[in-house]
Structures are given as structure tokens and as C-alpha cells.
Amino acid sequence: MRCRFALVWLCLSILARIAMAADTDPQAGPDAAAPVAVTIGSKDFTEAIVLGEIARLAAQRHGVEATHRRGLGGTRILWRALLEGEIDAYAEYTGTLAHELLRDMPADAGIEPLRARLRELGLGMADPLGFDNSYAIGMLEDRAQSLDIESISDLAAHPGLRIALSNEFMDRADGWPGLKAAYRLPMDARGMDHALAYRAIATGAVDAIDLYSTDAEIAHHGLRVLDDDRRHFPRYHAVFLFRLDLGQRAPDFVAALGDLAGTISASGMRAMNKAVKIDGEPEARVAGRFLRIEPGAGGRASGPGLLEYTLQHLALVGVSLSLAILLAVPLGVLAARHRRLGQLVLGLVGILQTVPSLALFVFMIPLFGIGATPAIAALFLYSLLPIVRNTHAGLVGIEASLRESAAALGLPARVRLRRVELPLALRSILAGVKIAAVINVGTATLGALIGAGGYGQPILTGIRLDDIGLIMRGAVPAALLALAIQGVFELLERVLTPRGLRLPPAS
């Protein structure tokens, strides 16, 4: 028995070691080799990433080494990351600032009032880049023509129209609720990923979607932008937000952002978006062409390879799972020992499981910043329930006569636990760990939203670029990894289950 337990420990510690080693690998890619002065973030859509690359290259031109953490997620994640100092700058839109982030500001607040309000938060705002990326509503040209729809007002006459809106737009104060009220629109709308919405409208699955006015697809798919005849949407001037402490740390970077003011027109931005999204050029090259410089050594020639994604993914799953085992097995033992406490523990870890995974990842940002750590923390919390529950069930399921026989021998509780109860519950515990591991492999793909890397990275980028091949480069290995982990655990179960428990019950 002793050697079996030693084997478990050995496996776990090796796994943890591999995971830790992978975890210390920089997430940021090739930039990390150089000394990093500033970190730029970007939301997970093409324009934001192009602007992030422009900022990175502009910084480089001013002699500042900058890291770009690409496609971190939605507005909330970037805003939090900026406030927490996880990133130093990212591109935002004035309308989003006024409506969503600084709710006490008037709807069409000008640059100066916004800047004054941001200063109170320790943030600065560079002058607008020059283009206005407003929300708009679009329909296929033919469809709009046949229904005689030119403005958003005209939609009210067609309650049967199917509208799909980006998830962020669905919830924002200036998004669907405001639009629906302002135009008295009778229909309901569905939430959908923005990149997928274009696919949906092109195939006729939906009738109208929200657009960013600089989206490359507007021309590509032949969409009609409906007139905002009641002037509902505020202006969305693109601006760089940055932490004011950069003034001391990297004044040249602030100057570089200032130099970009007024240099990007709406048509210029739309062309860059098209180059990336429709023509498939790397963002760094597009940004470099705009700045008339070579993307240079810092530019990402190609994405990280499968090996890097795999190591990152294994790190997320392995570390979170190992930590979860260390806490969840004792919790399960505790729950089995004390019935009341047990119900409380099971209830609490059960509640953790009900928190939507994306929300849980975001909740971790204030605590752990962005990157692998908050993702590991979230996955750790998700792993607790199956392991605690199976440990508890395995121990409670031991026949009373066996538990009492061990007690009647005069063995102390800890020896009974180690020599009798845990070995008898081992199969159930392992099954719980297996469930947690397989779930983790899937959930860890969401880690890419908060900069944790892993198989989620190509999936997210693939969704953004509408590139099925790229999505598969993340989704297929993730599925294979889940299968492999399942196999490993079944093997482990066979090795670790005491021989006496594998025998068929005697007559």
C-alpha cells in the first residue's frame, strides 16, 4: 500500500512540476525576451488588436519596448486590467467611456470632461485617433430594399425580423435596451458573437445585426447601414487610455500615443480591418505598413505553435487540478466525518460550480490580475466540486461493518483513514479527479479571454477572424487532450486500485 501512495504523490508532483515550468514561460510570446517597459492590451476584435499593434510599434519607434497582450476579452476585462495596472494602455471609444465605464458622465461628454474624470482614477487619455467607430444597425442590401427599410425607425414596422446583436451590445446601457426604447422596437433580439453574426446574416439566418461602422465586412457582405434617424448612438471616437504613472515610467510612450492623434481616418481603419479580416494579413504587418516601418523583430511572424499552446493548456489544467486535489480531498474527508459541516461544504462548492465560467474568470482579475494565475484560480474553484463530492461519496459509501471493524481493532482515526477508508474510497476519488480534469480541459479554453493562453487562443482568434481552420487548431487538440486525460486516469485507476478490490466478489 505504501508504495501505491508514494506513486500517487510522485505522479502529482511530476505533473505539478511540469505545469509550473510551463507556467513560468512567458505568455506574451516573442516580445518577452526583451526588457519590457510597458504593456499594451487589446479587446478581442480585429480593430482593437490592430490598434494595439500600432501602439506597440509606435512605442518601439520611440525606443520603448512594449508588450502587446492581444485579444484579452471584452471592455470590462480591459478596463479592470488597466485600473489594476495589469496593462498600461489600450484603445477605447469615448462613447463606451461615457455610457459604460464612467456612468456618471453625460451621454455626449466631450474629450476634456472625460479626461478630467479619468484623471481622478489615475488614468490618462491621448487625443482621439481621428476616426469614429460608432455602433450601427445593418441589413443585407437586398433584404432591406425588399422590405423598404432605410432607417432604424423603419424596423418598428416589421416585428417579425430576427435581430442578432453582439453580447456586449445586448447588455450595454447604450446598446439594445436604449435602442429598443428610443425607437419603440417591438421585436426581441438574440445575443451572438460579433464575428459569427456576420456569418449568420450572410447566410440569411438573421435579418439585422449590430455593426461597428469601421467593420471591414460591411462592404464585403453588401450590407446597408440603417440611418440612425433619432441620433440614438453617441459618437465613438477611438482614443488610447493609459495609466498616468507612465508619465514618469515611460514618457516617450505617452508621447508616441500623442503622435498618433488624428492620423487614422475611418476609411483608413476600415482598410486595415479588411486587410486583417478579409485578406488574412497579420495585424503586425498591417500596423507596420500604416506606420511605414517594418514590424521588426518584435513583430509576431507567426502565432505560437501547437507545442506552446499545449504546454500552456497543460499548465492551466495541471496546476489547478493539483491544487484542487490538495484541498478537495481533505474537504471531502471533513464532509464525510461531520454531517452538518459536510452539507455546508458540499453546498458551498456546489454554488461555486453554478457561477458561469466566464464570470468566474472575470471575478479573478481584481484578485490575480490577468494571465495564467486568475485562470488557474478559476479552474481550481471549478475542480473542487467533483473531487469533494466523490471523496465524500466514496467515504460515506464504505460499509458500516468495515468502518467499525477498523475501529474495533483499536486503530486511531488517522490510521483508519489512511489504511482503510481512503484506499476503499480511492476509486471514487479518482473518478472525481478524472471528471474535474476533463471538465478543466474544456473550461481552460476560456482562459484565453483573460490572457492565459492555451488552446483557447487559436479558438478565439479563429472566431474573430472567422477562420474555421484556426478554430480547429485549438478545438481538436483540446478534444484530444480531454480523451488522453480520460485514458491516463483509467490507466491510473487500474494501477492504483488495490488488487483485492478488482477481484469479482466471492460467492
Partner 1 sequence: MPAASDPAFSLLGVTRAYGAVRAVDSLTLDFARGRTTVLIGSSGCGKSTVLRLLIGLEWPDAGEVRRDGVALRRERMLEERRRVGYVIQEGGLFPHLSVLGNLGLLPRYLGWSAARIRQRAIELAGLVHLDADLLERFPAELSGGQRQRVALMRALMPDPPTLLLDEPLGALDPLVRHGLQDELRAIFRQLGKTVVMVTHDLGEAAFFSDRLVLMRRGRVVQDGSLDDFRRAPADDFVRAFLAAQRGLPEPGP
Binding site for partner 1 (CB under 8 A): 1, 401-402, 404-412, 415, 419-420, 423-424, 498-501, 503-506
- Pick the closest to residue 215 from 456, 471, 464 (CA basis): 464
Least distance between partner 1 and beta carbon 399 (Å): 9
Q: Which residues of 327-354 are buried (b: 16+ CB within 10 A; e: fewer)?
A: bbbebbbbbbeeeeebeebbeebeebbe
Closest CB to partner 1 among residues 54, 420: 420
Length of the chain: 507
Closest CB to partner 1 among residues 353, 497: 497
Least distance between partner 1 and beta carbon 426 (Å): 8
Closest CB to partner 1 among residues 307, 400: 400
Least distance between partner 1 and beta carbon 83 (Å): 54
Which residues are paired to 225 by β-bridges?
Answer: 138
Least distance between partner 1 and beta carbon 414 (Å): 10
Least distance between partner 1 and beta carbon 407 (Å): 7
CB-CB contact of 297 with 313 (8 Å) = no
The three-state secondary structure class of 154 is: helix
Phi-psi region of 138 (alpha: psi -120 to 50; beta: other; left: phi over 0): beta
What does the radius of gyration of the chain's CA atoms come to, in whole angstroms? Answer: 27
- Pick the closest to residue 29 from 60, 61, 81, 70 (CA basis): 70
The H or E element containing residue 460 is helix 456-465
DSSP 118-153: HHHTTEEEPPP-S-B--EEEEEEHHHHHHHT--BHH
Least distance between partner 1 and beta carbon 405 (Å): 3
Closest CB to partner 1 among residues 2, 103: 2
Q: Which residues contact 151 (CB under 8 A, 6 or more apart)?
A: 226, 227, 228, 229
Closest CB to partner 1 among residues 413, 483: 413
Residue type, 355: V
Closest CB to partner 1 among residues 48, 420: 420
Task: Compute the distance between CA of residue 1 and CA of residue 5 in angstroms, rounded to an integer.
Answer: 7
Task: Compute the distance between CA of residue 190 and CA of residue 142 in angstroms, rounded to an integer.
Answer: 22
Least distance between partner 1 and beta carbon 488 (Å): 22
CA-based torsion, 8, 14, 19, 20: positive or negative: positive
Closest CB to partner 1 among residues 230, 502: 502
Closest CB to partner 1 among residues 356, 505: 505
- Pick the closest to residue 445 from 461, 463, 459 (CA basis): 459
The neighbour count for residue 196, using CB atoms within 10 Å, is 16
Least distance between partner 1 and beta carbon 81 (Å): 50
Least distance between partner 1 and beta carbon 26 (Å): 46
Closest CB to partner 1 among residues 413, 484: 413
